[in-house]
Structure 1
């Protein structure tokens, strides 16, 4: 028996060489992965190996965004898609339970409003479904799907504030579905688990 631990009795020289090179490739890939992980731990503030003297370099577009292909990026995209779904559900409730506004009484910027409902009525309906009504209302106003006056609405104090649905429900469904699809497509399908 020779001194090489990779030698199997009866193996010819070519087979031993291919086994040796594939093992070398495997070891090299492992070392590369270990070094990448070690470098990542130096810039991650919550790891036990954080190096405060290490200054990460990134472009203006990368600032404040998760590492591409990471679980953080994947979870963020899933959260965006979930918010789009919740906005669509909220607008559906306003569409189902709201009343058609009197166009002659509305200001010019609300002439296209399709439905209106008071915050108090919406709150009593929506609390059975979700406890984040105000946040979803703010998000839907940001996307110009709904409109209401004021920064934040509070139960009891703002029960009489009207909330307007600004677009037909079919347009809202298409918009929200498209945004959710874009969010899911913006990341890699199988993120690395670190």
Structure 2
């Protein structure tokens, strides 16, 4: 089959990889929630061979992800599992969870469900990395993000760019403390959390 190709992946994969290199040298088992085309998985898997990268998506995207993995020949990037945040989650435990450009296409209820389910799949020292656009204090960070938010909501009223403060509150409620909120190209952000050590 012709592999799916998202142009944005070519633009953002290396800035995201910089974040992964800074925060994931000691990680071993990664779960990517919403692997999309599979391009990120093979790029990160090739650059970070110490990580076993579990892809996941809705079933209709599995063939495209498999095509990228098969072409890469990487043994540390695993075929996709089915993961709908509102449905069944894997039973394995991961010390890294990564998701890219997903929170703004989900309903807010689904975003809440994602964070509520995280404690059940992570190790005690897990890190969570989320890439994508955010608002701050209810305000868009650029005209392009404002326009993008309008396009998202016209397509699906339940979607839209999320307020960082709201997402951070969900992360804290799930037991994660913020380590970094890094500015990225094209008015995106990459946020890194880690599970909080209980006293």
TM class, shorter-length: under 0.3
Structure 1 or 2, whichever has the larger Rg, is: 1
* Structure with the largest fraction of strand: 2
* Structure with the largest fraction of helix: 1
